[in-house]
């Protein structure tokens, strides 16, 4: 059963990423980037979840597993971008975020790990939509054009991932 052929699993859009640079060293912006790398709604969470999904879907859903793997690589690129921005603005880009003025290290417990195919894909959609909402909000608030351009480009990838996950649902889970 060929659910998602490799030629349909195009996990990124065909646009270059902007240069990884900032106009300023604003601590609020830097902390936002830390949140993007190490909070519960972060690229690290996505990387780990999609890695997990790719492992448990093999061998029964090999095409889906490969697609999740490819998406995890894109999310790792996003992780690198946000970590580089935080570092450029003077923060240590560990896998942590600031919550109530305290550092909170990233944890795999942030993720939900459903095992049924439909729930696994729906959980992935939920995560991508939360990331899109978060990055859109940041893009509207941040006044550094370089960071905004990067956020807007990453949002396009996340939107593509939502499209792929909906395609997965339509092809394998449409009956219920």
Each domain of the chain, given as residue ranges in start order, spans 24-101+108-172
- pLDDT digit string (tens) for 57-93? 999 999 999 999 999 999 999 999 999 999 999 999 9
Which listed CATH number (1.20.1260.10, 3.10.129.10, 1.10.3720.10, 3.40.640.10) goes with 24-101+108-172?
Answer: 1.20.1260.10
- pLDDT digit string (tens) for 18-62? 999 998 899 999 999 999 999 999 999 999 999 999 999 999 999
The answer to whether the CB of 131 falls within 8 A of the CB of 108 is: no
CA–CA dist 76, 72 (Å, integer): 6
CA–CA dist 34, 9 (Å, integer): 29
Percent of the chain exceeding pLDDT 90 equals 86
The answer to whether the bond into 96 is cis (omega within 30° of 0) is: no
Torsion of CA 122, 7, 54, 171, to 10 degrees: 40
Tokens of 101: 């003025």
Task: Name the helix (H) or strand (E) containing 118.
Answer: helix 117-141
CA–CA dist 166, 28 (Å, integer): 34
Kindly state the DSSP code that residue 6 receives in the 8-state scheme: G
pLDDT at 172: 84
The answer to whether the CB of 90 falls within 8 A of the CB of 15 is: no
pLDDT at 144: 97
Tell me: pLDDT of 175 over 80: no
Tell me: pLDDT of 5 over 70: no
């Amino acid at each position: 059963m060929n659910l998602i052929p490799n030629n349909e699993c195009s996990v990124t859009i065909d646009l270059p990423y902007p240069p990884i640079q900032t106009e300023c060293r604003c601590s609020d912006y830097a902390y936002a980037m830390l949140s993007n790398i190490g909070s519960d709604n972060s690229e690290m969470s996505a990387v780990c979840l999609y890695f997990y999904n790719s492992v448990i879907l093999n061998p029964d859903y090999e095409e889906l597993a490969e697609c999740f793997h490819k998406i995890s690589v894109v999310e790792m690129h996003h992780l690198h971008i946000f970590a580089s921005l935080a570092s450029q603005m003077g923060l240590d880009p560990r896998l942590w975020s600031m919550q109530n003025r305290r550092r909170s290290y990233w944890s795999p417990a942030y993720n939900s790990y459903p095992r049924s195919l439909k729930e696994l894909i729906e959980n992935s959609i939920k995560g991508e939509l939360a990331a899109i909402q978060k990055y859109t909000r940041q893009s509207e608030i941040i006044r550094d054009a370089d960071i905004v351009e990067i956020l807007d480009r990453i949002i396009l990838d996340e939107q593509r991932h939502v499209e792929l996950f909906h395609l997965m649902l339509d092809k394998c889970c449409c009956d219920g």
